[in-house]
Structure 1
Amino acid sequence: MPATTPTRRPLAAYYASFLVDNIVSLAALLPVILLAALVVAFLGIGRAHAEEVACNGVNLLERWEKTAPDRIARVEAEAALVPNGTGTFWKIEKPGVPASYLLGTMHVTDPRVLTMPKGAHEAFASASTVIVESDEILDEKKAQVALFSDPSLTMFTDGSTIESYLDADQKAILTEGLKARGLPLPTVARMKPWMIASFVSLPPCELGRKAGGAVFLDQKLAQDAVSQGKTLKGMETMVEQIRALNDLPMAFHISALVDTLKLGNLVEDAMETTTELYLDGRIATIMPMLKAASETVDGSDSEKESVAFEQRIVTDRNHVMATRARPSLDAGSVFMAVGALHLPGPEGVVELLRKNGFTLTVMP
């Protein structure tokens, strides 16, 4: 999410925000046998019972109200600076065409997230076209073929491993962090860092639901669109999303992965807090909260790398989404669903659509 003023940007916070918002859809492309094997390794359970893993995260903001009120004040002050920072459901209007709607989503399988806000079901039912980030979430096999046609997107293919990029301290942290989750480093050494991060950045309950076959909201919307005879369109391909990650320096990914592992069990708390903020429509508060949560454990803090990450993974993709959605929105009667972190900010999807001549109003 673009920031309006320069701020300290811990890598783990920004990396976690992307993973929470996007990684489940990317992880969906992993072959079932690989996903099952990793879930078994991380959780020590069988696939048939994976969905029974309990969620243990707590709301960090509620904890900080008692223990760190100054931190709460900083988080809320930073969130207040972000344009269009509240609300997940927006009405899109343009003279002469039927109204369209924009829903910010979380790409997780939490049942609370699957319950859409008031008015969204009716808006979806009346839409003739449904737009999601990638329509490839409907055909995982097809997406897998495209993804694995270039193995270098997900694996080291030059004979190196992730260990080739680690210094001694990073290797120790990664080794111990994975060991704590029941997974030896050599098992995943040939995977790109984002592949490993897709598991260490999500709590066991989310991985368990995924392994049990649960779908996330965007998948359900895509499935319903097709079953109801609506036109389904995607704005990006999964390969484009992953290439955006690969455009960033390997050193950034290594630092962010290591810093994320330092969060330990705080990952579950960050996910729970993110989910509750999402349900409250306080989208602009998510990034400052994640930053505050990781400040005490982050070892890397490169402003240049964080800005590059934000530009390539968030802002650039916001522009792609707004541009590719415009022809459908010009015709009206669209239900558009994108990750909620793409909505706020001066270059968020809401503001970009306004600059394209649409009127956007947050729904109560």
Structure 2
Amino acid sequence: MLAELQTRSPDTYKTIIEESRQTSNTEAVLWKIEKPEVAPSYLLGTMHLSDPRISRLSTRQQDLIAHSKSVALEVADLSEKAVGDAMLKAGHLLVYTDGRTLNSQLSDDEFKVVQRIVKQAGMPEQSSALIKPWLISMMLATSDCERKQVESGAKVLDLQVAQEAQKNGLTVKGLETIEQQLESLASIADDQQIEMLKVGLKYADRTDDLMESIVQMYLRREIGAAMPFQLALAAESGVPASAFDGFKTALLSDRNVRMRDAAERLLQDGSAFIAVGALHLVGPTGLVALLRERGYAVTAVE
């Protein structure tokens, strides 16, 4: 889709590439973290996907995990049961309970897409009107390709890290909880949730293409293009970039600080292997920059 954009709107494409190149700490997905008198640790930027081009750990990554004292992911337990239990406890974050409905905030055509997405996710179609926008956006983010791979037993990269750790007798730690993640998602202003959802609904039939575009950015170490690309699609949908301000603050900047603070307890002991989504690494508020602010030397490896 980025190539399509280059043909359809060369100026927009140029802006995306320029912003990507200006975004710091995008040249690697594996980083070495060092501080005097402490054994080095490593930080891996993942994509929460089972695509074999991404989910296979390199020989170096496997070796680093095998020789680590601790391994941490965004959350310790990514099993369906753990996620399901957390969502049951956080019902008020998932659905409207104040009389509002989703269909009253969308066009008839948009809501029909929502109903289709809800049904595909295995939920009752009649519940569509009560589900909050952020949750529908999350459902939209799972492509048909990814859904089929997971159903066939393929594991996302983060679970591959956990599996490798457990194989080496290590207990996987979490930098945050599923409940904290859900609270962050739900904290985005309602009007911004709706605007972001409208962008997703416009491209609902191209979820596979959207995901492939992001995968290509990851493989080429151009993850800094992901957000400018998303904002370009929003602009084409008539949605302003400001609609994503809450997402960037609540889902990235604020969580980066929380994860940095949790990671430091492991880094101080040395030989830690930490894996989080790649978007959490890049830019001035990313983990690479935040760790450097704390006096760590952080250098690109892969």
Q: Measure the CA separation in 1 of the matches of 2:93 and 2:203.
A: 26
Alignment of 1:16-31 (within 5 A): none
The answer to whether residue 226 in structure 2 is matched with residue 226 in structure 1 is no
- Residues 1:171 and 2:83 aligned together: no
Q: Which runs of 5+ in 1 are unaligned?
A: 1-59
Give 1:198 shift. 2.2
How many residues in Structure 1 have an aligned counterpart in Structure 2? Answer: 298
- With over 3 angstroms needed to count, the CA separation of the structure-2 counterparts of 1:276 and 1:142, relative to structure 1, is closer
Name the structure 1 match of 2:94. 154
Q: Which residue of 2 aligns with 1:204?
A: 144
Q: 1:182 to 1:302 in 2, by over 3 A?
A: closer
1:217 aligns with 2:157: yes
Aligned-CA RMSD value: 2.3
Q: What residue in structure 1 maps to residue 240 of structure 2? A: 301
Cα distance change of structure 1 residues 185 and 142 upon mapping to structure 2, 3 Å threshold: closer
Deviations 1:240-278 (A, max 9, x none): 011012212222212211221012333322211110110
Secondary structure at the aligned position of 1:119 is classed as helix
Match of 1:90 among 31, 34, 55: 31
Instruction: Name the CA distance, whole Å, in 1 between partners of 2:291 and 2:4.
Output: 37
Long gaps (5+) in structure 2:
none
Matched, 1:329 2:267: yes
| SS in structure 2 of the partner of residue 156 of structure 1 | coil
Partner of 2:72, secondary structure, is strand
Deviations 1:12-67 (A, max 9, x none): xxxxxxxxxxxxxxxxxxxxxxxxxxxxxxxxxxxxxxxxxxxxxxxx23334555
In the alignment, the residues of structure 2 paired with residue 104 and residue 148 of structure 1 have an alpha-carbon distance, to the nearest angstrom, of: 29
Distance (whole Å) between structure 1 residues aligned to residue 241 and residue 21 of structure 2 = 24
Partner of 1:120: 61
SS in 1 for 2:107: helix
Distance (Å, rounded) in 2 between the aligned partners of 1:328 and 1:182? 39
C-alpha distance in 1 between matches for 2:59 and 2:112: 45
TM-score by length of 2: 0.89
Question: 1:25-174 to 2 correspondence within 5 Å?
Answer: 60-117=1-58, 119-137=60-78, 139-158=79-98, 160-164=100-104, 166=105, 170-174=106-110
Question: What is the CA-CA distance between 1:323 and the residue it aligns to?
Answer: 0.6
Counterpart residue number, 1:346? 284
Given the superposition, is the C-alpha separation of residues 84 and 179 from structure 1 closer, same or farther in structure 2, using an over 3 Å criterion? same
Structure 1 Cα separation of the partners of residues 211 and 142 of structure 2: 8
Look up the equivalent residue of 1:218 and give its one-letter code.
D
- Cα deviation code 1:276-320 (max 9, x no counterpart): 110111121222222233432x232162x4323211111000000
Calculate the TM-score normalised by the size of structure 1: 0.75
Q: 2:178 maps to what in 1? A: 238
In structure 2, what is the Cα distance between the partners aligned to 1:289 and 1:84? Answer: 18
Aligned partners of 2:47 and 2:157 also within 8 Å: yes
